[in-house]
Amino acid sequence: MQRDADPTPNELQRALLEYEATDLEERLIAWTEEHWNMAARAMVYNKPEGDKMVSGVSGVRSDEGQLVMQVAARVAVSERELMCRAVAAVLPEWLETTYGLTPGGQKKGKKKDK
């Protein structure tokens, strides 16, 4: 079957459908892919927070539904924590290389001793 129109996207379609990640986004994605096990481990430790998040939800008719919501809440909390860690790990170096900014109290080219 032949197409009626040229399949090449026009400008509007490219603007809406095509997406090129920025350098910062690529670094964050790479860091989270490398450290995914932190989120997996956090799923176990975040059980109390996940249970608390969904404890007041009404309309759940079964234990299975409640369990699904608890697991989803734990996933969300784990993803949030992983993203916070990714930003903390990636952003300082990205700001320094992109804009020449260094954390307060540090001189350019020297890292603070711990």
Decide: residue 50, CB within 10 A, 0-12 exposed, 13-18 middle, 19+ buried.
buried
Write down the pLDDT at residue 20: 84
Write down the pLDDT at residue 105: 67
The ranges of the chain with pLDDT < 50 are 114
Residues composing the chain: 114
Write down the pLDDT at residue 88: 95
The domain locations on the chain are 21-99
Write down the pLDDT at residue 4: 76
Q: Pinpoint the alpha helices (H) of 10-62.
A: 11-17, 23-34, 36-45, 47-54
d(CA 101, CA 67): 46
d(CA 33, CA 29): 6
Across 1-114, the runs of DSSP E, i.e. the strands, are: none
Q: Is the pTM of this model over 0.85?
A: no
Write down the pLDDT at residue 109: 57
